[in-house]
Structure formats: structure tokens, C-alpha cells
Chains A and B, each alone.
Chain A
Amino acid sequence: MRIARFYQKTLFGVFAMIGLIVAFTSALYVYTVDRQLTGDFLKNSRAIARSIADSNVDLIVHRNYSALQSIIDQFVEISSISYVFVVDEKGVIIAHTFVPGVPDEILADYKDGKDVYDRTLAGLGNFSEVTAGILAGKAGHVHVGMDNDYIALQVQTAIGKEVYLLSIILIVSVLASYGLMYLVCRGRSITSGVTPGIRCPASSTPRLRIPLRSSVCSSVPTRWASSAG
């Protein structure tokens, strides 16, 4: 037995509608979460850079490198922060968190006091680096590097969860629709092959016939199947 074309179209319409909802919701969600999370990470990094620059002026000015290093070491324990380095007024990196050394890409370009550096470091990945001036930049700068790949991963994880949820809704909806169709089929089987309540628009009396596909209705109880016309 087959599901009538009308129902096939209805089912397809339902699937398409839910699919579109899922697609548009996901796209909107990706856009929003990406912007929001990236913005948050940037804000946090800026706050960290600002905090190091403002609260450790004495250490920097008095060249207490050891205490300064202790402080920046604590910040790289934050997941999104990949590296921190501090540059003094002469442009010398006086504390950093790199192993086995400061990457060449950074050594080549860190002195012009830009607000944000977008870097690709060989073997390490892509980074957004924010800076904060120490004593308005007179005593140097603090640079804080965020791992863009980590941020992307966080965004993907958040989106993945959302898409996962929507996919479940889609599947449940499809199954529910199909189940409802099945119930309709079953009703038709019980009432001698005529689906109650649906009239064919071409005639005033005949009812729409829905031939049941055996594979679909294979689980119909025997007594119902035997009474089917």
C-alpha cells in the first residue's frame, strides 16, 4: 500500500518547513554566538592586558622582572589566553610566556604599539593579540594573545550543541508526522479503506482512498489488517 500523493506532499511540506526553521535558526545562532563569544574573549583579553599594565607599573618601572613574570604566568592559566608578553620603554621584551622562545613573527613586528595584531605563528596557529599601554605607552606595552582556533572551537561547540538539539527536534517532528500519517492509515483500514473526514474536492460523496503500503503498515495488528477492505 502507498501513501497518497496528498499526504506525501503534506509530509514533505512539514519536513521542509522544519528544515528551514532549523537552517535559519542555526545560521542566526552561529552569527550571534560567534560575534558574542569573540567579543567577550576580546574584552577579557583587553581587561587582562589593562590590568597587568595598570596594576604592575611599579614592578615594570623598578625592573622587578621576577615578580612581573610571576604575575603574567598566572594569566596564561586562563584557557583562551595563549601568551602574554611585556615590552619596556626601550622595546625590549622583559617578560613573556613562550617556550622555547619568542616566535620570529612576533620579534619581527611588536614595537609599533598597534591596538590589535592578527598573527599567524608557525606551528602554533592563529592569534588575535590585544595591547595595553603602560603609563599611556610611555613605559611600554602589555600584549595578550588569544588563540583564535580555541575561540573557533568554543563557537563550534556551542553551535554544535544547538544544531544537535534542533536536529533532534527535526527527527522527532518527522517521526511524529509519520506516526500521525500511520494513525490516519490505520483509521482508513478499520473503516474499510476510507479515511474518515476527508472528502475529495472533485466529488460531493466519495471519500479519498489511501492505499496502505504493506511495508509501512506491517505492524498493524492482524485483526485490523483482516478487516481491511
Chain B
Amino acid sequence: MEEEAQTWLRSRRMLTLALLLAAALLGDSTLAKDKTAGTDADRQDASQSEIRLGMSADFSASARALSIELYRGAMAYLLPLNNAGGVNGRRVVIKAYDDQYEPDLAIRNTLKLMDEDDVFALFSYVGTPTMNRALPLLQMHHDRHFLLLFPFTGADTNRISPYDQLSFNLRASYDQEMKGLVDHFVAVNRTRIAVFYQADAYGRAGWGGLREALDEHGLEIAGEATYRRGSPFDQSYDRQVAIMQRLQPDAVVCVGTYPACAGFIRDMRDRDVDCPVATISFVGGGAMLKLLSAAEQESNKDYTSRLVSSQVVPSYNDDSLPAVRDYREAMDRYRDAIMPPDSLLHPHGKAAEREYAPLPYGFISLEGYLNAKLFTAILQRMGADPRRADLVATVLAMGDFDLGMGQPLSFGGDTARRQASDQVYYTVVRDGRFVPFRDGEWEAWAKR
């Protein structure tokens, strides 16, 4: 009996020990689970039915056409994608805020997107001064793995240390655009190149690109004129034109936004300064052409000759490219459905004179379309459970890829490329629309 009782006691002790061990293991696994949850702060809830992209851009002030068209282009890709079920069953949505092209508002929007909206990534920010102020926030929150994907700027800030690790670009840089323009101008003996630029970080980025491009030819900037960010088309640019008249340059490069560049070109031509004028991609060729064409009709003058625009995406008229074909079809089909919400376009209430008439097609909406297409390609590679922390590795592992743009694109590789395209295209206005400006055609602008 006694032996039986001792056996029972022993087995009871064993049972108690086993229970304690099980409880300890269970407790540990709960702990482990908590730890995992902590590191998964960079993952949007798997049960969520959408992947949010955060966008801060000017939807209501001086550069609004750029942001609206970029947004429309992105939505033209995402709308049919979401209608077809999204990526791995999740819709891809853009959470956009208006920053009026003001850096302080961009900071606030970025904080909201990261802290409140918990976006998967920041996407297609518009403008250099705004991006320059948002990047340090990403640096501060680097442990949360936020990235800025495909901003609409060619500035160096997110292409060089210390912020190059926080961003990926699809487009070529301003330096590359400037180098191309300068090489072409110098080739036709136009060596005295002046610059008209926005007095801020964006203008300075273009100025820097021009300086370095000229430096390669042993040249210097012939002179410069600046304007304040937000200057409208109706304003007089006579003071800037007077500087150009005094300088007598062989060509002028404009690093601004479409209202100011259009106003400057109008006033230049009105004062018979007729040297070739070049604009870079951020200017927004389509919106600028719209303003200049309207001014031409009013004054019966020619404002669009001897005007060349560098672009970072192919011509939206080039139907031979699959991406352009798809883009045009989507833009035709979803024309009204892809507009940003009224709360973004009219923060102070709707006004007839502030209504925005969207462009049917354009370089900027095409860039937005390609940005969204590229993000979707990345997301598809991330599988059913995408995490922010895996984004960098996924993009860098892409290597060469094709978006249907008719040009090679690549990320990663030996140099850990973070800019997919180096291609710059040149366009001029003929019959009221931008058409490609071929290499041989520059000769017509040769200085005799």
C-alpha cells in the first residue's frame, strides 16, 4: 500500500512538473509572439484588404497640374488593377494629402501618413523642396522601414548620401537632363547658356546640374535670373527678361514650374529675346503648352518655336510602346473616375475659376502610370504577406525588368542601382503638341 501511495505521489509530482513545464513553454511562446508583433510594426495588418501608399503633393496651389496629372496617371493604372482584385487579393490605394508645394505642410503630411495612416510606403511625392524636408523624417524613423518610392523630382538629394538609402527612383535625374541639353547645345555651338530658375531647392538642383554639365565642357553658366516659388503666369517677368537681354545668351534653360516658365517665355518673346529656350521635365510641358497656346491666340505671336523640353518618359503619342498603348486606353476609359477627390482640389470650397480641366494625355500622367505599374510589379514579387522591411531587398533583387517603355530598366546589380532609368527624351512643339526632337534636328538651331 505504502509503495502504491509513493508511486502515486511520484507520478503526481511528474504531472505537476510536466504541467509547469508546459505552462512555462506556453508563456514563453506568448512572449515570443509579443516580440514578433513588435518587429512586425512595419507590416500592414495581413487582414487588411488594401495596401496604402502615401502621397503628399500640391493639389491646390501653383504646381497643382503636376500633382493632379501624376495622381491621375497612377490611378489610371490602379483602378483597373483593383477592379480585377488587386495584388494578392489586396487593393492598392493612394492616400493623398495637399501640401501646396510648401515644405512645412509636406512635413506634417508625411508624419500623418506614417503615424496615423500607417502607409506601406511614401509614393510619388511632387517637388524637391517638399521632398528635401520629408527625407529627414524617414531617416528618423528608419527603424520602421519607410521608403519614398518614385518621387516626381530629379534632384540629387535622394540620389546621394545620406538619403539615397531611403528612396528608389524610376526617372532620370536633373543632372542627366541638364547634361543632355548642354551636350546638344554645345554641339551646335551654343555655349553661352543662361538659366532661369525657381529660387529654392528645386531651382538650385537644376542650377547645379547645369553648372556641372557646362563644367565638363570647360564652360560656366553665362548668367542667371530667379523667381519666387508660386509665381503665376499672369505676373510680369520683365525684370528677369531684362537680365537675359543684358546677358545675350545663346540659350536659356528654365528650371521652374509651368506657370512661371510660360510667363517668362511669353515675356522673353515679347521683348524679342529669341534664343532657344529649354525646359526640364518637372516644368510640366503639357500645362505650359496649354498656357502658351492660349497666350498665342490672344496676342497672335509665336511663343512655342525654339522651345525644347527634356522628358524622362517616352512620348505619350508613341503607340508602338505597349506601356503607352495601355496608358492611353486607361486614360480614355477612366478620364473622370481618376480625378483626385474634391477635398484635395478645393480645400477652401469649390469655385468655378479654380476648376481644373484635366489633360487627355501627358508626360506627367504617363510617369504616374509607370510609377504605379512599377510599384505593382514590386508588390507582386513580395508575395501574400508584404512587409516594409522587405521592400529594399525585393527592389534591389529585381535586376533588369521591362515596363513596356521600350528601354532597359534595372534596379540593384553590382552598383545597387536605385534609379531604374537613365533615359532622357527631347521634345519640341509642332502643330500645338509635343513631338520628339531627334538628334539630327538640333543642327537647325546651330549658331552661325
Contact = CB atoms under 8 A, between A and B. Distances in A.
A and B associate in one complex: yes
A132 interface: no
A70 B201 contact: yes
B227 A65 contact: no
Interface stretch (B202-210, B280-288, B319-327): B202-210
Interface in A143-157: none
Contacts of B225: 100-101
B94 to A, nearest CB: 26
Contact of B128 (A62, A66, A94, A98): A66
A69 B201 contact: yes
Contacts of A99: 199, 226-228
B317 interface: no
Interface core residue of A62, A67, A99 (most chain B CB under 10 Å): A67
Contact of B205 (A65, A94, A101): A65
Contacts of B227: 99-100
Interface string A31-66: 000000000000000000000000000000011111
A68 interface: yes
A68 B129 CA distance: 11
Contact of B200 (A63, A69, A101, A102): A69
A131 B212 CA distance: 26
A95 B226 CA distance: 12
A66 B224 contact: no
B379 interface: no
Contacts of A69: 200-201, 203-205
A73 interface: yes
B156 A100 contact: no
Contacts of A128: none
B131 to A, nearest CB: 9
B222 interface: no
Interface in A64-116: 64-70, 73, 92, 94-95, 97-102
B243 A66 contact: no
A101 B243 contact: yes
A100 B157 CA distance: 25
B110 interface: no
Contacts of A64: 156-157, 160
Nearest to A73: B200
Contacts of B223: 101
B447 interface: no
B240 interface: yes
Nearest to B206: A66
Interface in B375-417: none
Nearest to B132: A70
B133 interface: yes
Nearest to B133: A70
Nearest to A90: B220
Interface string B231-254: 000000001100100000000000
Contacts of A73: 129, 200-201
Contacts of A97: 199
B103 interface: yes
B41 to A, nearest CB: 29
B441 to A, nearest CB: 31
Interface core residue of B199, B239, B240 (most chain A CB under 10 Å): B199
B166 to A, nearest CB: 13
Nearest to A74: B103
Nearest to B212: A63
A69 B197 CA distance: 13
A82 to B, nearest CB: 14
Contacts of A68: 204
Contacts of B226: 98-101
Contact of B240 (A62, A66, A100): A100
B199 A66 contact: no
A100 B223 CA distance: 12
A83 B195 CA distance: 20
B155 interface: yes
Given A97-B199, A100-B240, A66 B132 contact: yes
Nearest to B238: A100
B160 to A, nearest CB: 6
Nearest to B204: A69
B228 A66 contact: no
Given A101-B224, A101-B243, A95 B204 contact: yes
Interface core residue of B201, B203, B226 (most chain A CB under 10 Å): B201
Contacts of A66: 128, 132, 155-157, 201-202, 204-205, 208
Given A70-B201, A97-B199, A65 B243 contact: no
Interface in B120-150: 128-129, 132-133
Contacts of A70: 103, 129, 132-133, 200-201
Given A70-B201, A73-B201, A100-B240, A65 B228 contact: no
Contacts of B205: 65-66, 69
Interface in B168-206: 199-205
A65 B204 contact: yes
Contacts of B208: 63, 65-66, 94
Nearest to B103: A70
Closest CB pairs A-B (n = 6)? A69-B204, A65-B208, A66-B205, A70-B201, A100-B239, A70-B132
19 contacts: A62-B161, A65-B204, A65-B205, A65-B207, A65-B208, A66-B155, A66-B201, A67-B201, A70-B132, A73-B129, A73-B201, A98-B199, A98-B226, A100-B225, A100-B239, A100-B240, A101-B224, A101-B225, A102-B224
Interface of A: 62-70, 73, 92, 94-95, 97-102
Given A95-B204, A100-B243, 15 more contacts: A64-B157, A65-B204, A66-B202, A69-B203, A69-B204, A94-B208, A97-B199, A98-B226, A99-B226, A99-B228, A100-B225, A100-B227, A101-B223, A101-B225, A101-B243
